[in-house]
Amino acid sequence: MSDRYLIIGLGNPGRKYRNTRHNVGFMTIDQMARSFHEKLKKGKGPYQSCKVIYRNQSIICAQPLTFMNNSGLAVRELVHYYDIDLSRLLVVYDDADLLFGHIRLRKTGGTGGHNGMKSVIQHLNTKEFARLRIGIGSDIAKKDMINFVLSGFSKNEQKELDFIIDESVNAALCFIRDGIDNAMNQCNQDLLQRSP
């Protein structure tokens, strides 16, 4: 097995979807690449990726180009191509069950009704990999989930979005630096610290 890490952000390719709620996984990977002065390039499979070095650790940052519902096809190819141990895989995606501004790292888990994660779990044939959920939720989501996740952020949310994406990148790096257990203790929080 390779000693590399693989961080995959889920989303939909194309300008139409670039700034939608469903693409916060893509946004996180974009920001991670920028912070290391790297650019994502088309890979040998249905994905784009780049390599960064963090504390002497080699990290593959990637985005599937299969559209959300078939994300698992690209994830499986990336895992096999780079020979990644699943303990070194982190999948980053939006979660409508979490309030906007919350992030949650988990060691394992189900799909939470997220079609991208359904595809990843199906193609990897396991739930045993770490994931970073980025909250996009609101009451509107429950009424019209498809249109909600494909909509843009409100003006107020946009003011906080860069900070949330930066903190999501920090959580991914914390996973690599300190391991999933420590990263969960440090990073699982409401970033906006709402008043009661």
134 in Cβ contact with 172 (< 8 Å): no
Q: Strand ranges (DSSP E) for the chain?
A: 5-9, 41-42, 47-54, 57-64, 89-99, 102-106, 130-137, 189-190
* C-alpha dihedral, 95 to 97 to 99 to 100, nearest 10°: 20
How much is the mean pLDDT over the chain? 92
The answer on pLDDT for 64 being more than 90 is yes
Catalytic one of 22, 102, 114, 123: 22
| Residue 102 annotated to the active site | no
Looking up tokens 């790297």 gives 38
The answer on pLDDT for 149 being more than 90 is no
pTM score: 0.94
The helix-helix angle for 115-124 and 71-81 (nearest 10°) equals 40
